[in-house]
Structure 1
């Protein structure tokens, strides 16, 4: 799971300057995808082997209102998605009531927070005792415009990331339990599926969209595998941008995906793959979680073969970033095909935590780059990928060592990704591929 950091604060304190400075430091960009909402900007970077996603909330500022309701709502949403919050203050302007309000939002969330004092290259008009009143500990002084203090910021972020994962490991010392999440739009049959699995009505079902308001957990065993099953409220289409409950419901579903190992995306056969379905799918992919597409209400389909071909085309056309996405066809109401989703989950889980030897990886890399030679860089030199290794599982993450990584085109990245999937049977599994400047850890051996 990627460690997520939200950059928050009132308008004009330099949030976008910091975000752009981080994004422009030529860190190893990983799966730079559009944000979860139209209003957010985020990117995921590799900082000395640590995957960190930064979210910029500056795009939510309303010029007509310093602290508009929408800005507060969007800040709440960003904070709910984050594992760490950076609260930015302006060194020149001192602490204002708006700063205090933003600090209150972060404090109520219970999320860890680091105060960033920006524009510290000039006179600092903030007293230290005022900073400590926020209750977030020692601040970090930076100048986003001049790039000063960024190394200290990285060190603090990595420190929080290490602590975060250490605490998670203490809470789950034996993570043998397979965590599955049922997600999807309202009224596609998620709770009906949940009840069909359990054999009784634990979640209230009806034909009214949004009946299931909270995440519900249940524990079961399937083929000697302990499973935690999570049913979430649907990711609902916002009817009104000012409905905070909609934002929180969305955040809960996102958090459920992040807590899980595999997500079942349930869609209705009569309304397959709408925009919201694709948005949910990309959330899972962005978080590195395997996705199983569950087509429900298949008992309504007359020509199944024609329908199956249509679904496969839609998936290939709209979710090309995960080639070979597994699809299961069921009828939750008639309890048809239920076993198939668990069989597929067990299969996908094994691939998601697969560890491939360095020797096999580099043998594949040699063949792949010989079959399709990397292109020329912008300076006319040939791009050469000399070495690779797998650095983690869940999701499978691969580090590539290259002479000119910044000039490697996306088309070649896609070629390597698809070839890697095919060679090691990783179809449908989200992969992390990180390209570093030649830094072969074995070059001196």
Structure 2
């Protein structure tokens, strides 16, 4: 049985550092300035034989209004209610503050299992703060150092009896076996096309400029306020991943920070946020580029879409805030024309209009993502490819630069995700770029692969004269005699 552990505490007490220590990876952004984390980030952690889910939360602020700090606090309190165990961190070098006392009282009411940990306790500087932690009335505190890994064994000793208690309570609950009326044979799996499963969900990254509505869109897909949203631009900092079931499709969806022009980014934290978002794009299978209907296809939008294409990801263009548009037909025509003109490398990719606020268009977005993913995974047989190549060569033979006759003899697909093809040809270095584009456009059209990145490699067919470069053999005496 696995359980959920939420790490909570004031800003800058080291929650994200400890989170990274527990998951064994640098997933959460870490910086000296307080308030870096704003959303809830989940990760798979392991301590000894214990496997559990750990949640990194925003710093608990003493604010209850609708300000950004107030919304962050409500999101953290929601994580406290969801979690099986809460790990309440204080800064041992600062000691127990009045705010810590207020939050200790809140945790006492909201969660049955609360563990107090005095973080940053390395050395003698944390002795006083560790002793003060007893005054919170939440049991014996654990002395920790998330940065140096000290006290992790002590934390494990505290977690084990609680984990056993949770497991025993789960065993006492009645279990129900799901009923199935269809038997799946072992042989059917190989014949079926590759579909997302819970073990391997479809990876989706939602990217775009700040304030395009990425977090609002994901919250609407989830059906709950899971991510922090608001009118302020640049709220999201971490690339948060969430595993959900979207209309029957297991997906892992990444919410990323808004990406501004590189020249405008001066803050170190914003650079880290953008870098985290770019990493999410590289790990995704389908990238949803979210545009604002009021200012679509700005220079930064084009750069983001081009980046996704160069990374070889399947791309879906989604235009958000469609509910605010009055002249929808005229605007849609204008968007399609701009898409064809400004992003020719993604010609044919899905263009979907959505409203993250009302949820309208999410069914179309779901269908477009599945279609783009299917094309991205498509494989074409070698026989069909070579019949196609013969037709392309007959319709438009390759040029003969410098009098060299180029012969293309063979084509095959070497990989998918994205589709990649190799054409065996003579003089591959002499084939102009325009002819390669002609072949790529033919692949898109004839095999129904609109919008997906296609990689085409021209390779030397390797048919060389085996006697080239060898010295001419000297005639023998007998051959000279016969010639006479």
The alignment status of 1:363 with 2:374, answered yes or no, reads: no
**Pair 1:339–1:422, CA change in 2 (3 A):** same
- Cα offset for 1:255? 0.6
3-state SS of 2:227 partner = coil
Aligned to 2:344: 320
In the alignment, the residues of structure 2 paired with residue 196 and residue 241 of structure 1 have an alpha-carbon distance, to the nearest angstrom, of 29
Q: Is the 8 A contact 2:261 2:300 kept in 1?
A: yes
Higher RCO (Cα < 8 Å, 6 or more apart): 1
Q: Cα–Cα, structure 1 residues 234 and 240, in superposed 2: closer, same or farther, change >3 Å?
A: closer
Of 424, 428, 431, 1:401 maps to 424
- Change in Cα spacing, 1:384 to 1:245, as seen in structure 2 (3 Å) is farther
**Residue 303 of structure 1: which of 327, 330, 336 is its match?**
327
Q: 2-side partners of 1:240 and 1:362: how far apart?
A: 49
- Deviation at 1:434? 0.8
What secondary structure does 1:399 align onto?
strand
Match among 262, 269, 273 for residue 249 of structure 1: 273
Which SS does the other structure have where 1:187 is aligned? Answer: coil
C-alpha root-mean-square deviation of aligned residues, in Å? 1.9
Q: Deviations over 1:308-349 (max 9, x none)?
A: 111111111111112201111111111101111111111111
Structure 2 CA distance for partners of 1:290 and 1:175, relative to 1, 3 Å: farther
1:423 alignment counterpart = 446
Verify: 1:204 aligned to 2:228, yes or no. Answer: yes
Q: Name the CA distance, whole Å, in 2 between partners of 1:369 and 1:262.
A: 33
Query: What corresponds to 1:266 in structure 2?
Result: 290
Contact 2:406 / 2:426 at 8 angstroms: preserved in 1?
yes
* Structure 1 residues without counterparts, runs of 5 or longer: 1-171, 441-445
Superposed counterparts of 1:345-384, under 5 Å: 345-377=369-401, 379-384=402-407
Q: Which residue number corresponds to residue 17 of structure 1?
A: none
* Alpha-carbon offset, residue 438 of structure 1: 1.4
Alignment partner, residue 438 of structure 1: 461
Matching of residues 59-74 of structure 1 within 5 Å: none
Contact 1:238 1:246 in 2 (8 A): no
Gaps of 5+ in 2: 1-195, 464-484
The 1:368–1:330 alpha-carbon spacing in structure 2 relative to 1, beyond 3 Å, is: same
C-alpha distance after superposition, 1:169-226 (max 9, x if no partner): xxx9996310011110001111110111111111111121110111111112235421
Cα gap change, 1:243 to 1:412, in 2 (>3 Å): same
Per the alignment, in what secondary structure is the counterpart of residue 445 of structure 2?
helix
Q: 1:195 aligned to 2:219?
A: yes
- How many residues align? The count is 268
Distance 1:208 1:299, change over 3 A: same
1:230 Cα deviation after fit: 0.8
2:434 corresponds to 1:411: yes
Q: Is the 8 A contact 1:236 1:246 kept in 2?
A: no
TM-score (norm 2): 0.53
Cα distance in 1 for partners of 2:301, 2:462 equals 40
Structure 2 residue matching 1:321: 3-state secondary structure: helix
**Equivalence map 1:100-249=2 (5 Å):** 176-238=200-262, 240=264, 242-249=266-273
Of 280, 303, 324 in structure 2, the residue corresponding to residue 279 of structure 1 is: 303
TM-score using structure 1 length:
0.58
* Cα pair distance change 1:429/1:403, threshold 3 Å: same
Largest Rg, 1 or 2: 2
Q: Distance in 2 between matches of 1:409 and 1:246?
A: 42
User: Of residues 412, 426, 447 in structure 2, which corresponds to 1:389?
Assistant: 412
Instruction: Tell me, in whole angstroms, the C-alpha distance in 2 between the residues paired with 1:404 and 1:175.
Output: 46
| Contact residue 210 and residue 236 of structure 1 kept, 8 A | no
Question: Of residues 315, 319, 322 in structure 2, which corresponds to 1:291?
Answer: 315
Counterpart Cα distance in 2 of 1:427 and 1:267: 20
Q: Retained in 2: the 8 A contact 1:323–1:418? A: no
* Separation in 1, partners of 2:453, 2:427: 25
CA distance in 2 between counterparts of 1:173 and 1:226 reads 6
CA distance in 1: counterparts of 2:241 and 2:278, whole angstroms: 15
- The match for 1:79 is none
